[in-house]
Amino acid sequence: EVQLVQSGPEVKKPGESLRISCKGSGFTLSNYWINWVRQKPGKGLEWMGRIDPLDSYTHYYSPSFQGHITISADKSINTAYLQWSSLKASDSAIYYCTRLNDFWSANYWGQGTLVTVSS
Amino acid sequence: DIVLTQSPLSLPVTPGEPASISCRSSQSLLHSNGNNYLDWYLQKPGQSPQLLIYLGSNRASGVPDRFSGSGSGTDFTLRISRVEAEDVGVYYCMQSVQSSSFTFGPGTRVEIK
């Protein structure tokens, strides 16, 4: 069974760094593009970026997030990551990882990771 | 960036009745390979989103046949032939024709009258 299992909720202070993870099971992560999607409380979905875990060098970022986040992957442990070097309060949200199929559709989603940034 | 607009943003529905949601794009989503890169997703309350329709009109695995997608270019429609109580939630369209930058629509909240 294909699953994306994300790391648990995080509470951080502004300016702190953070890395959240997304572990694939039931498939080989390096064979699929992985997306990250943000959802602020009570709001809609925002596409953040995606990575090709096969080489970890091919990735794209939404202009809204470029420079503020880094998407990476470790194919040896079938895991993708989303990280920040300096969090802001406005980064408080649920973050989803998704697996893309051959038609760029997100046919598998993780359960989401809640990130709370507050002083 | 491609901008997607959805209408309506809120849709009260009666079980057993049909419903439809529109998604319009600021640019054509028709790729040179003939595919329209437009998906529909449903986020049920408290859950992760799930894929309903891909490439504009193809039902994802396990999706009931009461859901259908149509359209091409810049105008797309999601139809539910007979709404059931379990269909409540927020429906999003998403474009992926611009491979370097995907975008979601604002979402349409479907609720039972």
- pLDDT tens for chain B, 113 residues long, are 899 999 999 999 999 999 999 999 999 999 999 999 999 999 999 999 999 999 999 999 999 999 999 999 999 999 999 999 999 999 999 999 988 899 999 999 999 99
In whole angstroms, give the CA distance from residue B110 to residue B101: 27
What does residue A28 show for φ and ψ, rounded to 5 degrees?
Answer: -95, 115
- Burial per residue of B40-63, b for 16 or more beta-carbon CB atoms within 10 angstroms, e otherwise: bbbbeeeebbbbbbbbbbebbeeb
Which of B51, B100, B104 shows the shortest C-beta gap to A44? B104
Q: Do A46 and B104 touch (CB under 8 A)?
A: yes
pLDDT tens digits, one per residue of A37-48: 999 999 999 999
pLDDT of residue A52: 86
**pLDDT value of position A64:** 94
pLDDT-derived band at A93, boundaries 50, 70, 90: very high
CA-based nearest residue in chain B for residue A60: B100
Name the residue with higher pLDDT: B28 or A30: B28
Say whether pLDDT at A54 is over 80: no
Q: Which residues of B93-102 are buried (b: 16+ CB within 10 A; e: fewer)?
A: bbbbbbeebb
